[in-house]
Amino acid sequence: PEETVTSSFASFIHGVQPKQLSKAVCHRSKRMILDSIGVGLVGSRTHVFNIALQYCRELYSSAAVSSVYGKPGVKLSPTLAAFTNGVATHSMDFDDTWHPATHPSGAVLPALLAASQMLPPSTKPNGLDFLLAFNVGLEVQGRLMHFSSEAHNIPKRFHPPSVVGTMGSAAATAKLLSLSTAQCTHALGIAASFAGAPMANAATQAKPLHMGNATRLGFEAALLAARGMEANPSILDSIPGCSGFSAFYSAYEPKPLAVPSDHHEFLLEKQDIAFKRFPAHLGMHWVVDAALSVRNLFINYAGSFSSSLIRTVVLKVPVSKYINRPSPSSEHEARHSFQFNACTALLDGEVNLSSFTENSIHRQELRELLDKVVVEHPEDNVANFDKMYGEVALLLHSGDVLTGKCDTFYGHWRNPLSRESLLKKFRSNASYVLSDEKIEAIIATVDNLENLSDSSQL
């Protein structure tokens, strides 16, 4: 049978071995796992998480074996646990981002955690199997995004985690469950029918559902495939007159994955992840760093920060409608507002979890500063996480102009978080729901993941 793109993916998922994971890939993916768990833990304190959990608990759960972030003692059926944890992970927009753009870990980790608890003791996957499955989930997402040039820029139509995330989850769980090549093919095919949510729900409370569903439905696709469900075996290929996975893109050019030889090069090796320092859309991180740098200049100039000296704040950012909000009224909108994040950074000298509380969002001094903001879209500022920049200029009443610019924020893949910074973020997040002991235990477990004998301990 001739090699189709779809069958090459299935062969990869089925055939790739732990020894093919390079050191760099192991290292980077473990950082992602730690960050994702931390973000999921702190996310378990959000309103949207509570609704998702309440909804899932009301659904009859005949096999309640899988745990939920931040709720010791609560168990749900595996796919619902994956859903709830996926929602937690993305609830504050605090999770990792890749290039081309998606949030890869939240779509894969919850499903794997839930699945590992589902398997009987005799067949529990070890830490290395787990790490491999996780990387399969990432790799599939990355490869799919390379099939369309649309994917390189900040999205406009479908929210990428809902498109490639679902596929990644299906691939990762298919790997963990050791499905046959044919079953892997069908898992991908079924997952495509569960993929795809429009961008318009970004910046609303519904956006975290995208992640929850990506990880849950991809998992479901693998479970269905394991029970013999079949789909179109060429789902990833170009089928003229009848769209498969290509339905989610206007230009789509798939390519087969190389058969795993001794040296499969994982995309994560070539392209690292960005971790967020505060819970808001990735684009905000550039303007915040730019705002912080101009704030320093201001303090040198005037002794302390005072908005009354400012006439206008000019933001130079790329064009992207869903993150351009002059006056956000909810936490979800605030996390997707260049203006809000710049002003918060100017006023407070930092942006953190509490910047997005109701009180912080509606405070008077912030609203006053927001009124002074003007947004510009320079032509050279491309809506692309690899190329964009953020510039904040303060036009003072005195006539002076102070400018700060950021090309690469701290946490971006070009300037990755140090181990200390990453651990600091994890400890801070996890401390909302876990004891210090447990926090350190998780750090140690993830650090040593390859040597863990039973990954369901995680």
Site residues (vs other proteins, CB under 8 A): 47-48, 51-52, 54-55, 156-159, 162, 189-190, 192-201, 203-206, 209-210, 213, 224, 229-232, 234-235, 239-248, 250, 321-322
Number of H helices, E strands in the chain: 18, 6
**Nearest to other proteins of 127, 161 (CB atom):** 161
Q: CB nearer to other proteins: give 49 or 389.
A: 49
Our CB check for other proteins shows the closer of 123 and 250 to be: 250
CB of 87 or CB of 369, closer to other proteins: 87
Alpha carbon distances (Å) from 273 to 77, 212, 240, 305, 421: 31, 20, 35, 34, 15
- Cβ at position 197, least distance to other proteins in Å: 4
Report the alpha-carbon distance of residue 265 to residue 243 in Å, rounded.
29
127 contacts: CB under 8 Å, gap ≥ 6 = 448, 449, 450, 451, 452, 453, 455, 458
CB of 317 to other proteins, least distance (A): 18
DSSP 158: B
**Closer of 239 and 258 to other proteins (Cβ):** 239
Q: How far is the CB of 112 from other proteins (least distance, A)?
A: 23
SS3 per-residue string spanning 57-111: HHCCCCCCCEECCCCCCCEECHHHHHHHHHHHHHCCCCCCECCCCCCCHHHHHHH
Nearer to other proteins, 230 or 365 (CB): 230
* Shortest Å distance, C-beta 398 to other proteins: 42
166 and 187 Cβ atoms separated by less than 8 Å: no
Minimum separation from the CB atom of position 198 to other proteins (A):
4
- Residue 356 or residue 409: which is nearer to other proteins going by CB? 356
Helix, strand, coil tally for the chain in percent (to 5): 55, 5, 40
What's the min distance (Å) between Cβ of 203 and other proteins? 8
Other beta carbons within 10 Å of 13: 28
Q: With respect to other proteins, which residue has the nearer C-beta, 156 or 419?
A: 156
Q: How far is the CB of 228 from other proteins (least distance, A)?
A: 9
H/E stretch holding 375 reads strand 373-376
Residue-wise burial string across 211-247, b where 16 or more C-beta atoms lie within 10 A, e elsewhere: bbbbbbbbbbbbbbbbeeeebbbbbbbeeeeeebbbe
What is the smallest separation between the CB atom of 246 and other proteins, expressed in angstroms? Answer: 7
**What secondary structure does DSSP assign to 217-249, as a single string?**
HHHHHHHHHHTT----TTTTS--TTS-SGGGG-
Of 308, 317, 285, the closest CA to residue 396 belongs to: 308
CB of 144 to other proteins, least distance (A): 13
Contact 236, 184 (CB under 8 A): no
Which C-beta is closer to other proteins: that of 97 or that of 320?
A: 320
CB 217 within 8 A of CB 187: no
Which CB sits closer to other proteins, 198 or 349? Answer: 198
Token pair recorded at residue 333: 């909108």
Q: Which of 89, 57, 97, 51 is nearest to 74 (CA)?
A: 57
User: Bridge-partner residues for 374, per DSSP?
Assistant: 314
- ∠ Cα 56 134 283 (to 5°): 80
Smallest separation (angstroms) from other proteins to the CB of 283? 16
Nearer to other proteins, 270 or 321 (CB): 321
Q: How far apart are CA 282 and CA 15, in angstroms?
A: 34
Smallest gap from residue 232 Cβ to other proteins (A)? 4
Which pair of tokens denotes residue 85?
């944890």
Complex with other proteins: residue 235 or 373, whichever CB lies closer: 235
CA 266 to chain CA centroid, Å, is 18
In the complex, minimum distance from the CB of residue 206 to other proteins, in angstroms, rounded to a whole number: 4
